[in-house]
Structure 1
Amino acid sequence: MPYKATILTISDKGYAGEREDKSGPILKLKLEEMGFETAEVQILPDDRTMISSRLKEICLSGSADLILTTGGTGAAPRDITPEASMDVIERPMPGLAELIRFEGMKFTKRAVLSRGVSGICKETLIINLAGSPKAAAEGMDILEPVLEHALHMLKSINLDHK
């Protein structure tokens, strides 16, 4: 069974139709190349309540095994994606966000400026990625070797330790 993913692009300008979402489609393509079913690509504004409500709705419905957010992870005053994510994350899984920052340093020293988080809500893994298309794509390349195993663990599939 392929895993189902939802992508949430967090962007005031994208939500208002003032900027084309390029990161969401890149993530969709990357996920499909990895064998995921992409349930939805949605754009939301940098609004903590809207983001956390949508995350919670997806997690409670069980409609996605994985939620990727892109955008809102920097230090700008409206960058609140990590806070909105932590509003719904029940069990943090910080190693994934740490991996993205650490390996991202190979591409740009600015990777350490991301405040993205990762964790679990119900049976859904939530991972924040940076908003630029390049950074989002690099984040997926970094996650690819461990993402399937993380989801297997979350779903209690093939947990034999060798």
Structure 2
Amino acid sequence: MSVRNSDRFIFAYNRIEKAMEKISGLSGYMPFSRLIDKTKKDNAVIRKFEDDLRVYANLRNAIVHNRTDADYAIAEPHDDIVELIEYIDRELAKPVTVGQMFRRKVHTLKSTDSLSTGLELIRKQRFNQIPIYRNSEFIGLVTANGITYWLADEYSEGVISGEMPP
């Protein structure tokens, strides 16, 4: 026998409620809507899905409080609703870490690279800053502002060099 959408919905809803209680540090009962208010400040998933969760609270009440039989639910959620609440549940159960969110390949320049190499990297990748290394030692950061100031200084002398400044 397959599990009904209303059951899947209630299971996910209950896990979300428990997760919000844990996030809030709550030890007693608090209405679901107040839990949302309390936890959305500290949790991006709750903040992102706040409106959906408020609607789901009403749906949950209709399912739970209007049951007249074990096999009868007044509302049977659509598949996409159940999939979204289960997605929210999964996101709360294993949140993305800061490292995972911002982890990516860092492009660098060597101190011996030409300015044109740096500018080409900025143009292709749309970077506004690039770290510069001499061997494995960090020696500075090329920034959009830094390049602008350097070009202005070079232009005032009437010559713009293609060499990376020391």
TM-score greater than 0.5 by the shorter chain: no
Larger fraction in helix: 2
TM range, smaller chain: under 0.3
Larger radius of gyration: 2
